[in-house]
Amino acid sequence: MSDQRLPDFIPWLPFYTLFQKEVRRFLRVASQTLVTPVITAALYLFIFGATLGTRISVLGGFSYAQFVIPGLILMGVINNAFSNAASSLFMSRYLGNIVDLLVTPLTPAQFIMAYTLAAMLRGLAVGVVVWLISLFFATLPWAHPLLVVAMAVLSSFLFAQFGIITAIYANSFDSLAMYTNFILLPLIYLGGVFYPISILPPAWAGLSHLNPLFYLIDGFRHALLGQGDLSFTTAFTVSILMALALFAWAATLIGRSYRLRT
């Protein structure tokens, strides 16, 4: 180290390195992070596509399998984008190795984008595999392919932010599990993955409109099947607004290093 000049600084490298590390982290435990969610989705597909689904009446000209597949794909995207960001960031905080990032020139924007993109990648990867498996049960019309991609990307982004926020507020593994079990799962299951909101009694249908997941799932299904409970514009606009609000929340927390720096 006789050379007193600092090594050349590559401004984007801290972001790329953290992104790469996060991707390698979930690939390293792929049996938990990729295979398990795909098996879960495949079981749902088998139950609702090949067995029970054949006995449920056709909805809006589509089979029940065709109806449920968009919801199952998006469920995979959402669950895994959320889990990746939440578990990775929480573990870093819990084990203390977050200091490895805090002492570096990584900016808050790089920090949040690296965690977000890695989480999105895992969510979307699971979504693609679930879609591929769904081809054994039914084919979908892909009414608006670009909007399908847009809704999937938007959903993964939104739940990556939710994962980051959860990882920051969670104090223990129990509280992390509480966010998943008492917030995320009820929202997903009551958000129209398995049934159209239009078949609910008016009061329950009205309540479902308060569920943010309803807009994501309905928008995604609309883009794939060409019809949904809401207009696509409404679903997409509400989804964009939710994504922006959660991003602003997460960015504020990371920008202030809330619960990251003492």
Which residues are near another protein by CB under 8 A? Answer: 1-4, 6-11, 13-14, 16-18, 20-21, 24-25, 28-29, 92, 95-97, 99-107, 257, 261-262
Nearby residues of 242 by Cβ (< 8 Å), 6 or more positions away: 158, 212, 215
Q: Which is nearer to another protein, 21 or 144 (CB)?
A: 21
Residue 262 CB, shortest distance to another protein, in Å, is 5
Residue 28 CB, shortest distance to another protein, in Å, is 5
Q: Which is nearer to another protein, 18 or 158 (CB)?
A: 18
Q: Which is nearer to another protein, 14 or 192 (CB)?
A: 14
Q: Which is nearer to another protein, 7 or 202 (CB)?
A: 7
Task: Give the type of residue at 140.
Answer: L
C-alpha separations of 60 from 63, 118, 179, 196 in Å:
8, 37, 34, 10
Q: Which is nearer to another protein, 63 or 257 (CB)?
A: 257
Q: Which of 196-203's residues contact partners 24+ apart within 8 Å by CB, and which partners?
A: 196/59, 196/60, 196/67, 196/229, 197/229, 198/229
Quote the CA–CA distance of 87 and 243 in Å, as a whole number. 20
Residue 88 CB, shortest distance to another protein, in Å, is 10
DSSP result, 78-125:
HHHHHHHHHHHHHHHHHHSTTHHHHTSS--HHHHHHHHHHHHHHHHHH
3-state secondary structure of 62: strand
Residue 23 CB, shortest distance to another protein, in Å, is 12
Place of tokens 């960015």: 251
C-alpha separations of 116 from 198, 207, 236 in Å:
33, 30, 20
Q: Which is nearer to another protein, 230 or 254 (CB)?
A: 254
